[in-house]
Structure 1
Amino acid sequence: MSGGEVRDGGVAGRTRLRLYVAGTSPRSTRSIESVRRLCERWLKGACDLEVVDIYQQSALAGADGVVAAPTLVRLSPLPARRIAGDLSDERRVLDGLELDEVARADRRETVGGGADER
């Protein structure tokens, strides 16, 4: 990968997220907890989350165009999206990564099979 290019190599129907953090600071820990909570609550297990420490994998951060931590990148579904800063506001994260559409589609499949039954 180069220059922020993202490949869609995940399992079909699953959302792939990559969270960049800076070490084991309290802010990093809070970011990880916030994103995990968001995945459980809104994506109902249809999410693969990878946590990357920019201190240990700076080349990967550079490839994804990440210059600050925490940054959350939606790798799939394409197109890729990213959001940086405070990740505790679920609505901001869902909107910023356009995950609200993914979450709604997942809920429709779970609740009613995806069709409006009138």
Structure 2
Amino acid sequence: MTTSRESAGDNRECPGANPDLPHYGLRLFVTGMTPRSTEAIARIKAICEEFLAGRYLLEVIDIYQQPLLARAEQIIATPTLIKTVPAPFKRLVGDLSNRQRVLLALDLQEKS
């Protein structure tokens, strides 16, 4: 796997999206297509579609394919999720199985 980008487009393409809400830039660093990596990718995609539909860019970066990028971001464990936009910059290390922890790191709240 190389770097892959998934974009939900802009707010005009997503009728339910609020144009006043911030767009998110996320980078998920993984190690190949291991079960742990695959699960982390599926989890963050599900969260993004539920909470950020139409307003996120998710880059999935395989550290085997992009070792210099991983080194530049000081990735020491995978999966690692980095929120680059909006501020503040946040980093979450682990398999993303704790949904509440992921939502907190992204400054999102569970829907009621």
Q: TM-score range by the shorter chain?
A: 0.7 to 0.9
Poorly superposed stretches of 4+, deviation over 6 Å: none
Counterpart pick for 1:99 among 100, 103, 107: 107
Distance in 2 between the 1:74 and 1:33 partners?
17
Q: TM-score, normalised by structure 2?
A: 0.73
Structure ID, larger Rg = 1
What does residue 14 of structure 1 align with? 23
Percent identity among equivalent residues?
42
Aligned residue-pair number: 92
Structure 1 contact 70–86 (Cα < 8 Å) conserved: yes
Q: Distance in 2 between matches of 1:13 and 1:42?
A: 11
Q: Distance in 2 between matches of 1:67 and 1:55?
A: 13
Matches of 1:19 and 1:34, distance apart in 2: 11
**CA RMSD across the alignment:** 2.1
2:63 to 50, 54, 76: 54
Judged with a 3 Å threshold, the aligned counterparts in structure 2 of structure 1 residues 88 and 45 are, in CA distance, closer, same or farther, namely farther
Match of 1:28 among 30, 37, 41: 37
SS of the aligned residue for 1:100 comes to coil
Instruction: Give the Cα separation in 2 of the matches to 1:19 and 1:33.
Output: 11
Unaligned runs of 5+ in 1: 1-10, 105-118
Cα deviation per residue 1:15-58 (whole Å; 9 max; x = unaligned)? Answer: 00000000011111111000000100111231110000011111
